[in-house]
Chains A and B, each alone.
Chain A
């Protein structure tokens, strides 16, 4: 848990506060995104937690997984900082140290042995989908996206319960940002950290946050709520403007394909006979079907017109590749993927490429209509 209690920061020689009487609580295991226009005090608010900046007034409390609550102002800043993961936009990897040494920065200060650090760094690099060889490389030998992943790995190295992330994906291009965001959300499902995540991008705030803290210039809290509630019921005009006119569309960010997909779609086996397959397609009224093998791995898709009048096995006549969407993808990404490849139906697969369901544009449409109806109900209640 991270708890802000009437926190104010006025920089020396400044007349107005950078953070103004801020109070909110981030429950354990949740991501809270802090979002707002440039200069509204997001970074300041975040740095108050690990005391890179000292508050003028108020208190900040942290609790670890054992439920012990501590006032950060009563802790030794060095000890405090080593217990909090810290990731910044400019990454700040040490250029003269290898990836291993970079990731090992905090573990080494906490007295871990060399073998343990290497093991942990290896684990993290693999968790970030990078090869173990990277451990002995230097930061300048990696791409921007890879460096950013190492920045995150370095932040979680000692498995700190609390993390602070200041625009961690702000410096990467939109495509890679999306990949990094999705990777991080998947990682978060495993590691369940309590995270303050600063961003200036409302879309990112909606996508990443379990809760959103919207700040206005002068460090004033405008709204603190779940993304769904903020989209459905902006507290005031500022929030409404900031969230934008496409609120309904943004709601796509909040729903994952798992929630709307057909988990038992009709599928063809690669080893099925063509006659059987044609029969099945006629029965279902389908012009094409996805093909899987015995352990449900996606093999490709077969078109009715390619199968008709043929004899043999399905895998002889199918298209041997098909774009699929990963389980856990949100509807906005799923939809944009479907538009890119021009599929009306697309398979949802797990990380082993095993088919877990099927989603189509109709299901997505229905889900959006349902969710706005549900949001309106909450508003009326």
Chain B
């Protein structure tokens, strides 16, 4: 029997176009406009405002008072140059995270899907177990080993961060897919969906909230880990820390540490907001 003869079963609906109803309005990335409540306003502003205050304090209390000609000024330039180098470090830091997390998603999502497929399912526990052990190796050790064969520089840091981000994404992709109600899969199979259709139209959309949570975790952890990249010359906020330590300049160490923390908080906050938008409330129910 071919497809055509199947669609021949299709009842007696005449092509009366007028009857067609208005299609449902899909919520876009930014949803409908609703007048924001106090809670919305707070939810959207508290974290960014706090972070701006912290950055302003760092700027006014730690960067502005650098005396010209001091050792810090030599290291970081004048305060103007100092501010410039903070921006440069921020860009470097972000680049490390975005590239490593992006590459990790590109590899970990297919891997997570693969271990939930028939034939691999029996081994998924083993694979995740090995990956778990990998995760428990300290990041500084991974950096050191990676430096052994990749040398120093940003690409080594990106490799280590990438490796580190894999596990949460693989694990959450696999868990998310495995948690999909088997009755839903059975109904889909029974209605004649192909494995590919079930994956793309049912499993991935339903697993997405869990998958996204894994990506968010990976990205936020990477913000902190990337600070270590400075040890192997990858730049980023870590530069202030490792320069400040031998010089015993607490102010520099604090600038590096505080800015890393601010970036981690902001990263988590932004991704949280993205998650709220991308994950339809219905998929959570």
Show the binding face of A for B, using Cβ within 8 Å. 50, 52, 64, 70, 75-83, 86, 88, 90-96, 98, 100, 105-107, 109-112, 114-116, 118-120, 122-123, 132, 135-136, 138-140, 154, 158-161, 164
Contacts and interface: CB of A to CB of B under 8 A. Distances in A.
A123 B13 contact: yes
Given A78-B194, A158-B10, 20 more contacts: A52-B190, A70-B1, A79-B1, A80-B192, A82-B6, A83-B192, A88-B187, A93-B184, A95-B184, A95-B285, A105-B191, A110-B7, A114-B20, A115-B20, A118-B20, A120-B10, A120-B11, A138-B285, A139-B282, A159-B11
A161 B23 CA distance: 29
Contact of A50 (B1, B7, B190): B190
Contact of A112 (B7, B185, B186, B187): B7
Given A88-B183, A88-B186, A95 B1 contact: no
A346 to B, nearest CB: 36
Interface in B21-74: 21, 23-24
Given A52-B190, A79-B6, A112-B7, A95 B283 contact: yes
Nearest to B279: A96
Contacts of B206: 95-96
A322 to B, nearest CB: 37
B186 A110 contact: no
A100 B183 CA distance: 20
B2 A79 contact: yes
A354 B9 CA distance: 35
Nearest to B20: A115
A115 B13 CA distance: 11
B19 A122 contact: yes
Give the interface size bracket for B toward A: 35 or more
Contact of B282 (A79, A95, A118): A95
Contacts of B280: 96
Nearest to A46: B190
8 contacts: A64-B9, A77-B192, A80-B1, A83-B6, A105-B191, A110-B3, A112-B10, A119-B13
Nearest to B184: A92
A105 B189 CA distance: 11
A140 B187 contact: no
B20 A119 contact: yes
Report the 8 A-B pairs with minimum CB-CB distance, sorted nearest first.
A92-B187, A81-B192, A82-B192, A159-B11, A90-B183, A86-B190, A140-B285, A136-B24
A370 B173 CA distance: 65
B275 to A, nearest CB: 15
Contact of B21 (A75, A135, A139, A161): A135
Contact of A116 (B2, B13, B185, B187): B13
Given A52-B186, A110-B10, A83 B1 contact: yes
Given A92-B188, A95-B285, A114-B23, A109 B9 contact: no
B193 interface: yes
Given A94-B184, A106-B191, A158 B13 contact: no
Contacts of B15: 115-116
B7 A111 contact: yes
A109 B10 contact: no
Nearest to A135: B21
Nearest to A133: B21
Contact of B202 (A75, A86, A94, A140): A94
B256 to A, nearest CB: 43
B132 interface: no
Contacts of B13: 116, 119-120, 123
Contacts of A106: 191-192
